[in-house]
Structure 1
Amino acid sequence: MHDIPLGALFGALFLLFLLSAFFSGSETALMALNRYRMRHKAQQGHRGALLAARLLERPDRLIGLILLGNNFVNILITQIATFIGWRMFGDTGVAIATGLLTLALLIFAETAPKTVAALHSERIAYPAAWVYSGLMRPLSPVVFVINVLANGFLRLFGIRMDARQRAALSADELRSVVVEAGALIPAKHQRMLINLLDLERTTVEDIMIPRNEIVALDLEEDWTDVLDQILSGSFTRVPVIEGELDRVLGFVHMRDVLPLAYRESFGPEDLRAVITPPYFIPEGTALNRQLINFQKEKRRIGLVVDEYGDIEGLVTLEDLLEEIVGEFTTDPPTMGGDVLRQPDGSVVVDGGIHLRELNRALDLNLPVDGPKTLSGLIVEHLEEIPEAPASVRIGGVVMDIVQIKNNIIRTVRIPPAAPPGSPESS
């Protein structure tokens, strides 16, 4: 080596630094790849993504190959740099070369390439996958021996490569991915995806029509009243009962009833003939499960029952789908029958409105892990049934109780939000 010109040695050192930077940067790039984007590109036929996916199926082999090449190159760099220092400055040059080499390796072979690789992982990882796929076959015996020794050492600490889990996202992690997608997914579609993920956290009690608000046809009432209810009703499917809600006979579809209602001979027996059997839903059923049950049973409406078989409320497929896509119909001036926007900016709300619906309509954050309705939330917060008029603040929202009837808060007024920093806001 004494006859090799210093220029050639510096050239070899420069090439080795490039190789070291390649090994260091490509390792970071491959490990920083978005696995789901990589698999998507692989399914679309992207060759580099396909090779990278195959390499990452056995990360122990890939890391063994990268470290084999990186350590071999770094050892050569050390030898050549030391020899150059000795030839130029003697024994003092060895110390100088060691110090400069440490700094150069840290900057040009580690920090800089790994930083670039982390910022542009796909640009570096996919071309590097071609190189490593080509090197894996001839170097596989050496890599195999290294992995056997390394994995044997890891087993001493209870770490087994065959027990590794595939990268899978939980519901919360997937929710974060959707939120962070930004402009890649339209805001409306983001809300729909988040609502879909939230179905498993929401039960039928959160969206059901309470028992006291269920509209039903009572066959024990005067038939004239029943007929008027049929002709003037606004619901497509209606429960049919005998005297009380717990004695439910089933449901009737107005599509089947209205043609009969205009006949002079139409009577209770004709109505009974078009009744379909009732469908019951146990309380506590998650909405994602109930959506599947509706599809399986070919149903669009059901009655929620408690553990004693008592009817608690009514749930429709439309109510469930609105949890995903939002309200099917909107009225901008009123925002719906339960939420009325006033000219002064305040909002008059029905006390029986579901808290989830109110939060969506007014972009509030009232707690939904307790009572399901606004009336129930206020009573629980005050620990008594208030007398109107009265005001209460819950979750930073000021609410004026306007009307109470039969120990139930019927009407609540929410004043317009105060500007930030004003005395009212604090």
Structure 2
Amino acid sequence: MDAAVTPDPTVLDAPALIVAMGARARVAAGLLARTPTPAKAAALAAAGAAIRDDAEAILAANTRDLARAEAAGLSGAMLDRLRLDAARLAGIADAVAAVGGLADPVGQTIDETRRPNGLVLSRVRVPIGVIGIVYESRPNVTADAAALCVMSGNAAILRGGTEAVDSNRALHAAFARGLASAGLPVDAVQLVPTQDRDAVGAMLGAEGVLDLVVPRGGKGLVARVQAEARVPVLAHLDGINHVYVDGSADPTMARAIVLDAKMRRTGICGAMETLLIDRAYPDPAGLIRALASAGCAVRADAEALGVAPDVATPASDADWDTEYLGAIASVAIVAGVDRALAHIAAHGSHHTDAIVAADEAVARRFLAEVDSAIVLWNASTQFADGGEFGLGAEIGIATGRLHARGPVALEGLTTYKWVGLGTGQVRG
């Protein structure tokens, strides 16, 4: 199907632009909601193939974005999020196609009950409708969000960051071509054609046009969305993630988990930012020195500084509340799990926290009492990822308490309706 003519982004009436895009998205969402699972899967396979076919153009676009970003002085973490190479792009294409192989939540019966009068009531999953996604840096979000929305029967309006504008446009063009080749409406996934900040404001105020807004980016973006939105928001906040190494932890395991949690990829939201070491742990200096040897700058409290003064610097109060997204970690030595729990409650962001312990009772207590979307026992925080959870791609990791929490994938992009099956019942 042909897309409607895109408004000229140089003549911006942001509210009118979003209303027009939303109207087209609403029509597409109605079609998607009725599209059978095999047709959605075929469209995503075609979109993945189109991304692979356009690899040269997409990587060239990304090179232009990177050049501008480097000239603008973006941080190493932001550049890493922005950068595509052949392997990463192949992974994006594969992820798009893989979403089509996941269980389709639309139409699933959540539960069913029979009332005493014989009326059968069930809750059935349905798409949310039209979803706006506002994001920064990561061009993979363009493809991931598009695939998840299509498979869950939702239309998407995407507004990516200026730093990734060429990459996003190239990825979106390939994705749209794949949808069209499979007979699905290209208006199911639209990319806002301007980087004017007024377009974001128009999306946030588009009550009745958008059914949900998902921000994915830094604290400033999320704060703006939460402050201005007149549309429901599914928030992804910063990842101030902790690893607590209990006194019972196996030292070899602890070292491996700590290094992976911090250093595998320092710029992702699942990276460890604070290491808490039990005072009873036999070798706290070994963990601190391992981080330093791996190239991590260590900012330590007084006790941790005392055991490794040559490789650490004093932590400030602000360090405990900082998402570094780089090769920096704050480290504290604490008096057991009670103090670890208190520290996480005071400074965590409810994203992902992990314990390394051989003592099951301590570990179970940690899992029960840490109020985060993801809690892990004897595993790296870098597993905070929809793909690693078997969900395919993710639209973000929700850190709130309503609707969806943790990696948000297909189920998180649905709501439900009640369906009643009667045999003539009346309520007299």
Range class of TM-score, shorter chain: under 0.3
Larger relative contact order (CA 8 Å, sep ≥ 6): 2
Structure number having the greater helix percentage: 1
Structure number having the greater strand percentage: 2
TM-score (normalizing by structure 1): 0.21
Q: Which structure's CA Rg is the greater one?
A: 1
